[in-house]
Each structure stands twice: as structure tokens, then as C-alpha cells.
Amino acid sequence: MAGSIEQITQQLAALDQKIEAMGDTFTETYRGYLKQLGQTVKQQIILSCYRICTENYPTRFLSLSLNQRQQLQENLQALARQTITDLNDLLIPIAQITLEPESEDLPDELEALLSETDYDLPSESSLTPLEALTIWQEQLERSINKTLKTASSAANRLLQDAEILPKRLPQAVLDAAAKAEGSDSNAANLLNVLVNASEKTEEAETSQPVITALMHVVAVNLRVSELEFNDPAVSSWRNKLRDLKQQLQGMARDYQKKRREQSIAQAQLAWKSTWVKDEG
């Protein structure tokens, strides 16, 4: 039995090495993906704002002075460049990954994998290559979406500051509209919805403090799925990442199987080491 445990341990060590090597491949693939995504996002920020200014709110854009138009365009270009930097900066070494105390930082996929066995959840100081890579990949995807949301919000604020979008429209309204399943857009990476806009009136009594009306809003709404769908280069990198994810899932199943075999073998050995035969 001891030999079996040693063999299983060696097999797990070999899987660790394969997963570490796959981590290097993941890193380089994400590096290419983020570089291409950044260029696409830069183009889409400018294109989305161009459409908003010229197709959706042309009168408001024309009312700006020459200096105001130039300042808006320069600010949007600066935002686009900064977003490229922000996306590239998301790529950190897998070795730096730790598991935060909050349970939501454990990816659902990894939690489901571990819950099928009696395997203990990892601590910050004991992440295996599989755990580290899975958490790293999940956190990176979340960060990408967060960065796009931040860029969208920043672009909309610039449009509000230039009075292209109404200033009285709170950011919370844009965020809620962007999440709405029924939102409609006739162009990629644009939010096109009707929202409720409320305003207080000076003479209104406490029982009737606001006037509510529907407001048509078109705003920037960058989404990974739309960026990938409309750019073959970004889509190609995403396909490579999907292939790697499938390979990792296969290795994860093998790893889970070997860990269970190891636990069973260790339990059997522990049982035999303390078993006293009943001579009666």
C-alpha cells in the first residue's frame, strides 16, 4: 500500500508540473489577447462616442465651440490610451495569486470541483498549481469586465461633462440600464434604452415630491462578448483561451481523481496500522 501511495504522489507531482507549464501558456495567450483587446477597445471607445455625438445627439455636439469639441476628443483619446494600459496591467504572475478570505473569491468552478471530494479548501499559503491557475484565470476575467465597465463609465462622464449626455442623469441609472435584459442597441457597445428620469419641483408637497418621465438614453457600454464578436482578431485569441480552458478542465478532473485515490490509499493504510485482530 505504501508503494501505491508513493506512486500516486509521483503522479500528482507530474500533474503539477504539467499545470505549471500550462500556466505559462495561459499567461502568454492572455498577453496576446489583452494586447489585441486593448487596441479594439481604443477604437470602440472613439467609434461609440463618435456615433453618440453625430448620430444620436448631433444638435448638442454642434452647439459646442471648436475648443470644446477638441477638448472632448482629446479627453476621449486619452481615456482610450489609458484603457489599453489598464488592460495590459491586469496580467500579473500566477505565483502572486492568493485566495482572499471572502468566499466569493473562490471560483465557482473550483469550489464545485473540490466539493465533490473531502478535499479541504486551500488557504493563502497552500495553493496548488491547479488552484492558483484556476483562481488567477477567474480573477483576470473579472478584472477585464471591471476595466471595460470603468472605461464605459469614464467615457459617459466625459460626454456628460460636455453636455452631450444629460448631466442630471445619475451614473446609477446608466449602470442599472446597462444590466437590464431588455435594453436594446442598434450598434455594438452602445446602450440604447428608455429610463425613468425624476426631478423634484420647488412647489411640490411631501406627498408628491417628483415628476417622472421617460428619457431616451444612448451611452457607451463596452462588453467583452460584443468586442470579441465584432473583431476576428480578438475572437481568435478567445478561441485559444477556450481551448486552454478545456485542457485545464481535463487536467483538473485527473487531479481530482488522483487526490481521491491518494486519500483512499492513506485511509486504508491508517486503518491497517491501528487494526488489532480479534482473536476471539
**Does any domain span residue 10?**
yes
In a domain, 30, yes or no: yes
Q: For the chain, what is the domain count?
A: 1
pLDDT of residue 124: 47
Name the region of 144 (left: φ>0; alpha: ψ -120 to 50; beta: rest). alpha
The reported pTM is 0.81
Closest Cα partner for 134 from 111, 104, 101?
111
The reply to whether 141 falls in a domain is yes
135 falls within a domain: yes
Q: What pLDDT tens digit does each residue of the chain (280 aa) get?
A: 555 888 999 999 999 999 999 999 999 999 999 999 999 999 999 999 999 999 999 999 999 999 999 999 999 999 999 999 999 999 999 988 876 655 445 555 555 554 443 445 444 457 899 999 999 999 999 999 999 999 999 999 999 999 999 877 777 766 766 665 445 556 788 888 776 666 554 444 555 555 456 777 889 999 999 999 999 999 999 999 999 999 999 999 999 999 899 999 999 889 988 888 877 6
Q: Assess if residue 201 is contained within a domain.
A: no
Query: Which range marks the domain in which residue 153 is found?
Result: 2-167+223-274
Q: How confident is the model at residue 180, as a pLDDT?
A: 56
Residue 215 lies in a domain: no
Residue whose C-alpha is closest to residue 53's, from 220, 272, 252, 257: 220
Let me know if residue 244 belongs to a domain: yes
Is 187 part of a structural domain of the chain? Answer: no
